[in-house]
Amino acid sequence: MKAVGLFRYLPIAAPASLIDLEIEKPKPKPRDILVEIKAISVNPIDTKIRAPKDEVEKEPKILGWDASGIVQEIGKDVTLFKIGDEVFYAGDINRQGSNAQFQIVDERIVGFKPKSLSFEEAAALPLTSITAYESLFDRFKIDLNGADRGKSILIIGGAGGVSSIAIQLAKEAGLHVIASASREKTIEWIKKLGADEAVNHREKMKPQIKALGREFVDYIAIFNDSDSHWNDVCEMIKPQGHIVGIVANKEPLEMSQIRLKSITFSWEFMFTRAMYKTDDMIKQHELLNEIANLIDKKKIHTTLSTTMKPINAKNLKKAHELLESGKTIGKIVICGF
């Protein structure tokens, strides 16, 4: 089968950073489904894993953790899906990724594709939707049905993929959403998604929050550059509030700054359930189905912004370059082999 992968970890401009391959079609294990890939999306984690390092792979490493497609084969213990089902998922970081014609994935982290979306539109959703959903409803424990209506949330990095879903989910839960953006295009994007107010994360945000008539914010989601925003976040968070981060810090985060406020800080990493085969692993199947339900009811919508065709090394390199520029809005999707 066709695939795009790597043997060496190189800068994206290097000819061998991503290469077209012919590899063996995988076989599903008992809880796995085999999916024929129709469309994939590219995320910052793809570029981080591909980033230069000394390691050399003996077998090709296939990246990609966002896909939509059709179930072609099922393992003997599969109960959630049947052959022919249309699905979408982010997959497992410990297994081969979705930049291939076929992929095996544990059924417990797969959802049914939204009926109202194309494969391309659906492929833009899984990783960002899982991260946003788990941040809001598993880590913050916000009530999706509105019990926390009126509380405030600041989403830092508002035009990114995760933030673009988080803004919509937070609005669906009834929160007052403040999102950060630094360019005219990104401000327009977050307002279109439903953000009530915007602040510029390239300037001190605490004075901007005060100018909006707020001393503090109930929840803060740091969805880009944890290090540079940490001091500002510690000033803005409400006493006994909650902070969630998804981007690994490069320097120690000074916890004493939030101790006196009795702040809760949580990390969110959407691969945790699959990596550790947690008892509640099936929750990703359930939450993806909830996302599909919200999409089909027009409560939230896909964040697809750029589509390329076909799935090959040339287009994946372009997508990596765009992501590494730091100026993308929404999600980049590549479809078809």
* Tally of domains in the chain: 2
Which helix (H) or strand (E) segment holds residue 273: the answer is: helix 272-276
Q: Do residue 297 and residue 256 come from a single domain?
A: no
Question: Of 217, 238, 267, at which residue does a domain stop?
Answer: 267
Q: Rounded to an integer, what distance in angstroms lies between the CA atom of residue 337 and that of residue 327?
A: 27
Q: Quick one: 152 and 260 in the same domain?
A: yes
Last residue of a domain, one of 237, 267, 297: 267
Kindly report, residue by residue over 75-100, the tens digit of the pLDDT: 999 999 999 999 999 999 999 999 99
Question: Which pLDDT tens digit goes with each residue over 97-140?
Answer: 999 999 999 999 999 999 999 999 999 999 999 999 999 999 99
Q: Are residues 262 and 160 in the same domain?
A: yes
CATH number assigned to the domain comprising residue 36: 3.90.180.10
Per residue in 194-203, pLDDT (tens digit) is 999 999 999 9
CATH classification at residue 160: 3.40.50.720
CB 81 within 8 A of CB 71: yes
Q: What is the pTM of this model?
A: 0.95
Closest to 163 (Cα-Cα) out of 335, 334, 333, 328: 328
* Residues 210, 189 share a domain: yes
Q: Whole domain around residue 156: which residue ranges?
A: 129-267
The reported pLDDT for the residue numbered 330 is 84
Specify whether 164 is located in the same domain as 255: yes
**Do 256 and 277 reside in the same domain of the chain?**
no
Please report the pLDDT score of residue 257 as a whole number: 82
- Residue 55 CA to residue 40 CA, distance in Å, equals 26
Tell me the pLDDT tens digit for each residue of 25-57.
999 999 999 999 999 999 999 999 999 999 999
Residues 138 and 263 in one domain: yes
Tell me the pLDDT of the chain averaged across its residues: 96
Q: How confident is the model at residue 24 (pLDDT cuts 50, 70, 90)?
A: very high
Q: Is the dihedral of CA 289, 272, 39, 2 positive or negative?
A: negative
**Are 178 and 207 in a shared domain?**
yes
Do the beta carbons of residue 101 and residue 1 sit within 8 Å? yes
Q: Is 109 in the same domain as 137?
A: no
Mind listing the pLDDT tens digit for each residue in 269-327? Answer: 999 999 999 999 999 999 999 999 999 999 999 999 999 999 999 999 999 999 999 88
